[in-house]
Structure formats: structure tokens, C-alpha cells
A and B are shown apart, each in its own frame.
Chain A
Amino acid sequence: MATFGSLALVLALALAAYNLFAGTIALRLLATGHPARISPERLADTARRAGIAGFYAVTAAAFALVWSVFTNDFSITYILEHSNRALPAAYKFAALWSGQEGSLLLWAWLLGTYGFVLRLMHKTDVKLYAYAGTILAGIQVFFLAVLNFAAPPFSLFRGAIPPDGNGLNPLLQYPEMVIHPPMLYLGYVGFSVPFAFALGALMMRYPGEKWIRITRSWTMVTWLFLTVGIFLGMHWAYAVLGWGGYWGWDPVENASFMPWLTGTAFLHSVMMQEKKGMMKSWNVWLIFSTFLLTMLGTLLTRAGLVSSVHAFAQSSIGSWFVTFMCIVAAVCIFTYVLQRSHLKTEHQLESLVSRESSFLFNNLVLLTACFVILWGTLFPILSEYVQGTKVTVGAPWYNKVAVPVGLFLLFLTGVGPLLPWRATSLRSIRRNFVIPVIALWAMVVVCLVAGVRPWTDGAFDAGNFYALVAFALAAGVLTAILSEFLRGAGVISRQTHRNILSATWLLTRRNTRRYGGYIVHIGVVVIVIGLAGAAFNRNQEQELALHDKLVIGPYSLEQVGATQDTNPNYDSDYALLDVYKNGKKLFQMAPEKRVYAASGQPQTMVAIHSLPTWDLYVVYEGTNPGTGQPIIKAFLNPLVSWIWAGLVIIVFGTLVALVPNLSSATAAPRVAARSTVPEPVLKGGD
């Protein structure tokens, strides 16, 4: 299978190169109108079909690698290093992305898949799709060149082939690891598509903003994958790493978060371009930056530039990525400079208090957050380069900036939808903001009464203060969003005599993008509530002899014994803990410690009892070598389940936003054409 896989990769590279070469010539011929021996349309079509054929070739290579994992072909070095015979089937799939070569192949395959779908849909707008397909081919050439020359996944093991492999990294042997990396990669790779469309539209001076409508679903689906990937990673870190948290500002976590921030900014500001013809240059640079940040993320994860618990595969492909990123940046800058006259705005910002300005502030806040995280992530590399010593920045540094920035963003989430387009009068502000502001202050009072106070023993407590602000803003924003639904549903209800629930359903169906977006915002609010709970985390570590008790919050954990289990893949030790509350036994928890047979590496499996109010999170840290007694660390983490619930709401909201509208809203426009045209009202389209 190694020979077949290697041949398939060479073939895929040849096809991608042809797609890029023939596509570029065809588009050049079409743009200049120069006569040629072959019709440019025919040439462009062969380029398109080479792209489709390239997808089949990469699929064949990926299939060859998966086949080799399942047949335990340890003659392939990659399989030897990332799998073993006793590895369960699901984790054999995970072996595909657990190493550098495999994950690059997954990148290429996903890009091929996106390109395949795009090329099948080319009749939507033949020329625009030809540009986008050619740009995607350029990206694919890079990945396939790396796979063929720098990180070949089918290289053969030299010497006597061992009877069994080294096994999969134990950190990756967790159910979420079967879906988290593909989700993240779908998000990373997916941003290549809106990038290709944006760059293509700029290259061809695409008349109008229809390309945004064409790419809208691509961008939303990509954003959704990246969001789900990030949250699955958070849940994995929470359940596997055993430190009681879910986000540690690790460089690789940051690498996935940065394109998410710019991608989110793009999703918002692109609406301004579509509706008002504004922020065209800004949007182009947002999507360029997002694509470059996905490349940076892959570089950080794969090239070993930074130390991270997530950087599973490290090597020297960094120079390939840096070169490629420089080429992409140069192409983007060159195209922008050449075509910037095409990006003139059609309207100016009229007021600082308007829907437009809220989008602008939203973008500025997201970009500020992105820049801060980028600076913190690259600081160790820069400090080492400048001073010779690696200076790392920790979670407190990020939190100091990210928490206020995040809260301001939450504030804008509530304010934006309530502001009218163009400008806002004082009367309008009063009309729209009274109820959310009342809800906000009511929540402040409730929190103060419940003991969430920004001071403890007379001293300022930043954690409590931010939690109080978060809860208050959450109440205000939630009220603002619900009032948007109720007002809209009220209009439909009056028009159609439906009840309010049915009217809300119809309202959402009529403008899925807007109301799906609001549902996503509700998910964000729920997540912020969950994150704010971290201000009240507690933990307790104790060595427990038989029938000793550890007390945390309202719970008492009694050590009632230990047990062991074994299977071909790993051996497990469990500590058995009975959990009591108010003297009554509720349930038993069994935190686990594993040792994997193939690698000999230990791994912690946390026991979590999750409730809407808090998570009881118990780690078996091992035994005291002196006494042989288990050491248990317990955490009481309030509101963590709200974070995962918020993700479910975000997924639902995005899916709603992806559904086409049922029909346009009512109210027909009443516009008559003017008799004279002093000058063209709109720029562009020429």
C-alpha cells in the first residue's frame, strides 16, 4: 500500500500543479482576450477537472494510509510510530492525524474535498469559481509538495520491522480526539474557500457584492467547524489533562482561537459590505489575515516553534510554511495594491451611535483581542530571537486583557442589534434600551444579594468584579435579544393572527440569518455565564487512607477502596470514592490512572459529576510512595456545564442561519425612478 499511496500523492501533486498552471493561463487569456490555439473556456474546464481528479488522488492516498493502519503495516514508519495492534478501531482512525505527515495528508484531503464540492458547483458563477478553484489549487500544490518532499507519510522503515508499533500518544486516546482534530481542521482548511473567493473576486474586479452571498454558507459552515473544534478541544483538555480547567492560553489553543476571532469579525463586517457597500478593504484584509492565521496555526502545531501540550507533531517543516506564508502575503498585497480602486466604499459612517458603528467596534475589539493573543503567543519566539532567552507569558497576562475585552464584546452583542442603521436619535435609544438596562441592574442587585460582591473583606476582588459584570451584562444582552424576537413576533402575530410562538417560528424562518445569528448570540451569553463561574472555583488535595474523607463545598468524598482493570491496550487503577451530601450517600466516583502497554506512558482519566450548578471534578493523582495511599485532588467548578450548553445553542443557531429564508418580509417598497441621473449613484460594476 505504501507504493500505491506514494504514487497517488505524486499524481495529486501533478494534477494540482496542472490545475494551477492551466487555470492561470486560461483566466489570463479570458481577461486579456488574446487569441490562443485552445479555447480558454476549454482549458479552464480541464483545469477544473484536474482539480476534481486531484481530489480522487488525495482520497486514494488517505485511504492507503488508513488501510495501512488497520492492517498493521509496520513497514511504514508513520504507522510504526503512531499505532499498535491492540489500538481500538476508532483510535486507528485518529492515528491519521496524530503525527505530522498524517495530519498534513488530512489537511490536503480536506482541502481537496472542499475544492471538489466547489468545482462541482461551478455553474453558479463560472468565472468566479474558476478564479477560486485556481487559488485553491495553488494552496493544494503547497501542501502536496510538503507531503511529497518534506514529510512523506509512506516512507518505509529501514531495518528489521518490529512485531508491534509504538502506539498512539495516550493523550489522544480519548473519544473526543476522534472528532476534535478533524473538526478543527475542517475549520482551518475551510477558511481557504472564502479566502480564495475574496482574492479571486479582487483579482477579477468582480462587479458587486454577490460573491459574498455565494460564499456566505461556506464561511458560516467553516466558522461552525472551527467553533466546535475549539470547544471539543476545551472539553478534552478539561477531561483529560486533569488540571481542573479548560483553557490555559496554550500557544496551540491560541493558534486556533486567532483565526476564529478574525473569522468572527469577518462574518459580522461582511454584512456591512453586502447591505451598504461599506468596509470593502477591511473585509478583504480580514479574510486574508484569517487565512494566514490558519497557516500560522498549522505552523505552530506542526513545526515545533512553541512548546505546547497540544503540539503532537514537531519537525522542521517550518521553513516551508514560512516561505508559503510570505508568498501568500506578497500575492495578497500585490493584488490589493493593483486593484484597490475597486474597493471604494459606497457610504461613509454617519454616526458613532449606529448599527454600522457597532459592527466597526465589534471588529476593532475582536482584532484587538487577536493582536494581544498573537503578541503573547509569539513573544517567547521573539524574545529568544532578540535576547537569547525565551520569555513566556502565562494565563494571568492573557486574562488581564482578554477578560475586559470579552466583556466589552458581550456588551456590543447586546447593543448592536438594538441600534438602527445610519444614525440613532435619543428617543430611539430610550425606546430600545430601557428594558435591557433594567434587566442589567436587576441582575446586579440579585448578585450583590447572593454574595457576588466585587470586594472580599474590604479588598477589591477582580474575579468577583468581572463575574458580577459578566452576569449583569448577560442579563441585559439576553433581554435585548429576547425583546428583538418578541417585537418581531408581535408584528407577525398582528398581521397573521398567529399565537406568539408560531409567530416567532415564522419570523425566524423569514429571516434565518438574522434570527439564527441572535440564537448564536444567546449561546455566547450562556458560555460567558459558564466562564464567569471560574471566579468561584475551589479545589482540595488530600492523601486518603481507607474511609478517610475529603470535604469540598457541600460534598464529602470517602475513600472506600481501589480496583484494577486490564485490557490489551492499557492497565487501569481506580480509586473508589463514595460521595455524600448532608450525610446522605449520593453516588460513587472512580477516577482512573492508566498505563499504556505499547508506550509505557501513564495517563489520568478524570471522574466528573456534572450538574447545571457545578461540576464535581476528581483526579486520582497516584499513590504516595511512602504510605501507598492514593492522593486525590477534587475541584468544585461552578457553571462549567453552561459552556457546553452554550456550544449546543451556537450550533443550533448557526444551522438555523444556514437555512434559506422562507420568503421575504412584508412591506413592499414604494419607489419610483427619477427622471434624471446626475451621476452614477453607485461605484463599481464597471
Chain B
Amino acid sequence: MTQSLGLILGALLALVLFVYTFWPENAFASQREKTRLDFLQERKEQLYENLRDLNFEFRAGKYPEEDFVAQRSQLENETAQLMAEIELLQQG
């Protein structure tokens, strides 16, 4: 490949990429700010998953009954407080 052909190809590439980058586009993506409510909903899903894991491990025989009850109670308590805050934010 000659030097001039290389230059022409390089210039062509620059032109195409310039047009691609700056082509007027109105349909670009945007998103609303994530709120505390979104955050709490995500955490709720995670706490539900933790509860499901705990139940499954108990059924698999990994926890004695009293350990399971104590842990479940802690997780449920945490989830309940979180859901209360969610309800409060949804009402407000």
C-alpha cells in the first residue's frame, strides 16, 4: 500500500468516525435520578432473597431450629422496618 493510499484511507476513516460521533441525534438515552425509594425497593428484594436462602438452608438441614428462628426473626424485623419506610415514602 502506498503512502498516499494510506493517507486517503486514513482521512476517509476520520471522516466516517467524525460523522458517526457528531451526527445530530435526538433519541439519546437519559434516565431519572434514582431515589431513596428505588434504593429501598432494591434492598427489599435482596432481603427477600436472604430470607429465601435462609429458609432453604434450614430445610437442607444446615441450621438447628433455634438458630433458624433467631436468624429469621432478625431478617424479618429488618425487612419490616424497611417496608414501613417504603410505605411512608409512597404515601408522601
Which residues of the partner chain A approach B36 to less than 8 Å between Cβ atoms? 207, 685-686
Residues A491 and B63 in contact, CB atoms below 8 Å apart: no
Residues A487 and B62 in contact, CB atoms below 8 Å apart: yes
> Using a CB-CB cutoff of 8 Å, which residues 49-92 of chain B contact chain A?
49-57, 59-64, 66-67, 71, 74, 76, 78-88
Interface residue range, chain A: 35 or more
Which residues of the partner chain A approach B62 to less than 8 Å between Cβ atoms? 418, 420, 428, 431-432, 487
Q: How far is the CA of A416 from the CA of B21 in the complex (A)?
A: 50
Between A6, A53, A209, A686, the greatest number of chain B beta carbons within 10 A of the residue's beta carbon is seen for A53
The answer, yes or no, to whether A7 is at the interface (CB within 8 Å) is yes
- Which of A79-87, A121-129, A160-168 lies at the interface with chain B? A121-129
The answer, yes or no, to whether A380 is at the interface (CB within 8 Å) is no
Which residues of the partner chain B approach A488 to less than 8 Å between Cβ atoms? 56, 60
Which residues of the partner chain B approach A673 to less than 8 Å between Cβ atoms? 80, 83-84, 86-87
Contact mask for chain A residues 1-23; partner B; CB cutoff 8 A; 1 contact, 0 none? 11111111001000100100000
Q: How far is the CA of A18 from the CA of B63 in the complex (A)?
A: 56
The answer, yes or no, to whether A268 is at the interface (CB within 8 Å) is no
Residues A49 and B21 in contact, CB atoms below 8 Å apart: yes
Q: How far is the CA of A459 from the CA of B76 in the complex (A)?
A: 58
A-B contact pairs, 15 of them (CB 8 A): A3-B3, A4-B6, A45-B25, A126-B29, A418-B62, A421-B54, A423-B67, A490-B61, A665-B56, A666-B52, A669-B51, A673-B87, A678-B81, A682-B39, A682-B82
Which residue of the partner chain B has the closest CB to A274? B46
Which residues of the partner chain B approach A276 to less than 8 Å between Cβ atoms? 50
> Using a CB-CB cutoff of 8 Å, which residues 648-684 of chain A contact chain B?
664-678, 680-682, 684
Q: Given known contacts A45-B25, A673-B86, A681-B85, what 5 new A-B pairs fall within 8 Å (CB)?
A: A277-B43, A669-B79, A673-B80, A675-B84, A682-B82
Which residues of the partner chain A approach B34 to less than 8 Å between Cβ atoms? 206-208, 685
Residues B71 and A50 in contact, CB atoms below 8 Å apart: no
Residues B6 and A7 in contact, CB atoms below 8 Å apart: yes
Between B28, B83, B85, the greatest number of chain A beta carbons within 10 A of the residue's beta carbon is seen for B28
Which residues of the partner chain A approach B48 to less than 8 Å between Cβ atoms? 669, 671
Q: How far is the CA of A418 from the CA of B46 in the complex (A)?
A: 21
Residues B43 and A208 in contact, CB atoms below 8 Å apart: yes
> Using a CB-CB cutoff of 8 Å, which residues 205-260 of chain A contact chain B?
206-210
Residues A3 and B83 in contact, CB atoms below 8 Å apart: no
A56, A425, A665: the one within 8 Å of B17 (CB)? A56
The answer, yes or no, to whether A422 is at the interface (CB within 8 Å) is yes
Residues A420 and B59 in contact, CB atoms below 8 Å apart: no
Q: How far is the CA of A60 from the CA of B6 in the complex (A)?
A: 12
Residues A669 and B52 in contact, CB atoms below 8 Å apart: yes
Q: How far is the CA of A49 from the CA of B19 in the complex (A)?
A: 10
Q: How far is the CA of A56 from the CA of B84 in the complex (A)?
A: 51
Residues A677 and B81 in contact, CB atoms below 8 Å apart: yes
Residues B64 and A431 in contact, CB atoms below 8 Å apart: yes
The answer, yes or no, to whether A37 is at the interface (CB within 8 Å) is no
Q: How far is the CA of A517 from the CA of B46 in the complex (A)?
A: 19
Which residues of the partner chain B approach A491 to less than 8 Å between Cβ atoms? 56, 59-60
Q: How far is the CA of A686 from the CA of B66 in the complex (A)?
A: 37
Which residues of the partner chain A approach B85 to less than 8 Å between Cβ atoms? 677, 680-681
Residues A57 and B17 in contact, CB atoms below 8 Å apart: yes
Which residues of the partner chain B approach A34 to less than 8 Å between Cβ atoms? none
Q: How near does chain A come to B53, taking the closest CB pair, in angstroms?
A: 7
The answer, yes or no, to whether A400 is at the interface (CB within 8 Å) is no
Residues B6 and A682 in contact, CB atoms below 8 Å apart: no
Which residue of the partner chain B has the closest CB to A41? B30
Which residue of the partner chain A has the closest CB to B55? A667
Residues B46 and A425 in contact, CB atoms below 8 Å apart: no
Contact mask for chain B residues 1-36; partner A; CB cutoff 8 A; 1 contact, 0 none? 101011101110110011011100100111100111
Residues B14 and A3 in contact, CB atoms below 8 Å apart: no
Which residues of the partner chain A approach B1 to less than 8 Å between Cβ atoms? 1, 3-4
Which residue of the partner chain A has the closest CB to B34? A207
Residues A665 and B53 in contact, CB atoms below 8 Å apart: yes
Contact mask for chain A residues 418-460; partner B; CB cutoff 8 A; 1 contact, 0 none? 1011111101100110000000000000000000000000000
Residues B67 and A428 in contact, CB atoms below 8 Å apart: yes
